[in-house]
Structure 1
Amino acid sequence: MAASELDELAEEEERRKKRAPWGVIALVLLTGLALIRNGSGEFDVGPPQPASAAAADSRVPGDTPTVQPLPYALPDRVRIPTIRVDAPVMPVGLDVDGWVAAPPPEDPNLAGWFTGGVTPGEKGTAVVVGHVDNKQGPAVFYNLGALKKGTRVEVARKDGKTAVFEIYGIEVFDKKNFPGDRVYASKGAPELRVITCGGGFSKQHGYDGNVVAFARLVEVR
């Protein structure tokens, strides 16, 4: 093996060591995604919520394509054509309080990839987060709860490849009883979670839940 290849492997291993363990990430995201809805008159109805029929099925369908995991590469854009999402993706880590730092709320069309996990397309569970709304109205993932099983989510990566994921479930979970292991644990294959706020809303506490879309890699373009 050439010296340059050894250097690349060493750099990748160092990146992996710096990533937070998923047990910690689950607790962080439980509170860290408490994004605030302004509730202006035009949007008082609130964002759509997942139907019970859209709950994730832990069984892997027999016709699910076998797609080889991709190497590490930063995500560039996330696209969900069904709900007209086409947004740049910025890296987000932890803020000074130890919570996930959501993208700046001033930009409604911006998603964040959590750097404590794998990149979309790698083996493991990647996490993309975004606001449901801001003071001006709906934001990037406002309609996330309206998605159905079979919907495609495309993540364009900086290596020129596009990882295409298919949603196999979408649910809303109460923040106080958030099933971190179920949401974030690795399934042994490339998966993606797209997360925003949802559930009930109050001016005092904001949203009381998180909408989570479960998706698995089905294609690489």
Structure 2
Amino acid sequence: MSYTTPSLRHALLPVLACLVLAGCSAESVNGSSAAAPGKSASPASDAPRQAGSKGTGKSGSPRSPAAVPVSVSIPSLGIDSELMRLGLNQDGTVEVPPADKGMTAGWYTGGATPGEPGAAVIIGHNNTRYGKAVFHDLKKIGKGADIAVRNNRGAELHFRVTATETVSKKAFPAEKVYGATGARTLRLITCDGAFDDRGHPVDNLIVYANRN
């Protein structure tokens, strides 16, 4: 799919919002959104189009719809989840899975499609007010672990974990996570760390992986 990429030179607030007390929430928005990569987006300019929409090639003929990721699994952790699509809210913040779907991860459609050149981003809760969520055990993932993403054409794409990083939400490494790259990369993001005085986790856990 295509996307009018916001400038990544601007500071980025936390990508993943954490629900109050048990899960993830953005400091200035409700529990279903988080700050977008780069500058605030307007629906007319920076909002992503639906994945799979047809474009036009150089010859003027319609392109086939792009493959869309539908599930993610991490065998070493026993994680196996369908993927919902996450775009941008009207205020320019990134959507996150709703609290009542805490066991379902989401693919951020404003990034790359998993398996294509660029940084593909999958977001999942650690906990929600309903209890443990899909990425609760993500902090246990080891270097070299396999992450499999299946798309709607039946292909299963495998990624190998190269590194993990826990960062303060006040210093999220936007360029490192979202920056342009010719490699076929995957980033998994969830909440981590201690809770602040409002019951919000103060850190994000980022898992970096490359296509096998």
**Shared fold per TM-score greater than 0.5:** yes
Q: Could you say if the C-alpha distance between residues 96 and 205 of structure 1 is closer, same or farther in structure 2, counting changes exceeding 3 Å?
A: farther
Q: Distance in 1 between matches of 2:186 and 2:14?
A: 20
The separation in 2 between residues aligned to 1:81 and 1:37, in whole angstroms, is: 30
2:171 paired with 1:188: no
Q: Any idea what SS the aligned residue of 2:99 has?
A: coil
Partners of 2:71 and 2:167 in 1: CA distance: 26
- Percent sequence identity over matched residues? 37
Q: Which amino acid aligns with 2:125?
A: H
Relative to structure 1, the CA distance from residue 74 to residue 211 in structure 2 (aligned partners, 3 Å threshold; closer, same or farther) is: same
Correspondence for 1:164 among 149, 155, 158: 158
Q: What is the deviation of 1:26?
A: 7.0
Unaligned runs of 5+ in 2: 24-64
Alignment: residue pair count:
171
Question: Within 5 A, what are the aligned runs for 1:34-49?
Answer: 34-36=17-19, 38-39=21-22
Provide the TM-score with structure 1 as the length reference.
0.71
CA deviations on 1:67-101 (whole Å, 9 max, x unpaired) are: xxxx9311010001111111000110112322111
- Distance in 2 of aligned mates of 1:39 and 1:203: 13
SS in structure 2 of the partner of residue 210 of structure 1: strand
CA distance in 1, matches of 2:10, 2:87: 10
Q: Gaps spanning 5+ residues in structure 1: where?
A: 1-14, 41-70
- Say if 2:14 is the partner of 1:23: no
Aligned AA (1:86): D
Distance 2:10 2:69 in 1: 19
> How does 1:88-167 map onto structure 2 within 5 Å?
88-167=82-161
Separation in structure 1 between the aligned mates of residue 85 and residue 202 of structure 2, nearest angstrom: 25
Q: What are the residue-to-residue correspondences of 1:5-84 with 2, within 5 Å?
A: 15-16=1-2, 18-21=3-6, 23=8, 27=12, 30-36=13-19, 38-39=21-22, 72-84=66-78
Structure 1's 197 and 190: CA in aligned 2 closer, same or farther, altered over 3 A? same
CA RMSD of aligned residues (A): 2.1
Higher helix share: 1
Shift of 1:129: 0.3
Give the 3-state SS of the residue equivalent to 2:110 in structure 1: coil
Match of 1:194, as an amino acid? L
Greater RCO (Cα-Cα under 8 Å, separation 6 or more)? 1
Q: Give the Cα separation in 1 of the matches to 2:144 and 2:7.
A: 26
Q: Does the 8 A contact of 1:174 with 1:209 survive in 2?
A: yes
Of residues 83, 86, 100 in structure 1, which corresponds to 2:80?
86
CA distance in 1, matches of 2:79, 2:211: 18
1:198 maps onto 2:183 in alignment: no
Which structure has the larger Rg? Answer: 1
- 2-structure distance, mates of 1:128, 1:100: 12
| Counterparts of 2:7 and 2:132, CA distance in 1 | 30
TM-score normalised by structure 2 residue count: 0.74
Matched letter for residue 91 of structure 1: R
